[in-house]
Structure 1
């Protein structure tokens, strides 16, 4: 293994974190617990997203997607959501490699506007 926690370990850690937050809620901390619970949920969604991407993308494709996200964050997140939607619908067989990622990026990239200037 690569030393990364698998889905079962991640779920166990999330469950322990939620139990800790619930115990703290019983101690009367009020508003802070709600914020912590929301933060824990956000972290859980992020961890699930990363696990899905790790499962369905090769290392090269994941690196390419991360590079795109660094330069064009909104577009990178849009591509990420598209990959997750494809994965959840079962339309991905195997893993998306670097070539497939390049194709996906070309398909999702907004059309560039071309300005042809004609002189009369």
Structure 2
């Protein structure tokens, strides 16, 4: 009976150690993701005027996938040195207009 208890105790300790490793890995991933987000915000703060930044944050609420794509594109352009001036609200409007999916007009067919 002692041998069975010893096996159970070892198995329990192994499971607890595995859970601890998984938790630590999750924490590392969250920290890395937080650092990436902070870097993105810093780059966007440097290349966008305040009004443009505000507009992008509003778009992010309504269309997160579009805003994310525009953010990534702007960051790429900034890192490659292709953005030389701060992006104004008007410039951002044009960028967003091109990035937004086209709306389909509903057709009403009467018979």
**Both proteins in one fold, TM over 0.5:** yes
| Aligned counterpart, 2:95 | 104
Determine if the alignment matches structure 1 residue 41 to structure 2 residue 27: no
| Aligned counterpart, 2:50 | 59
- Post-superposition offset of 1:114: 2.8
Matched residue SS, 1:70: helix
Q: Which has the larger radius of gyration?
A: 2
| Aligned counterpart, 2:65 | 74
- Post-superposition offset of 1:74: 1.4
Give the structure with the larger helix fraction: 2
Aligned residues: 92
Q: Comparing 71-80 with 45-54, which one deviates more in the overlay?
A: 71-80
* Two-structure CA RMSD over aligned residues (Å): 1.9
TM-score (norm 1): 0.68
Choose which of 86, 96, 111 in structure 1 pairs with 2:77. Answer: 86
TM-score (norm 2): 0.73
| Aligned counterpart, 2:5 | none
| Unaligned segments of structure 1, at least 5 residues | 1-28
**Residues 9-48 of structure 1 correspond to what in structure 2 (within 5 A)?**
29-48=20-39
| Aligned counterpart, 2:105 | 114
- Post-superposition offset of 1:30: 2.7
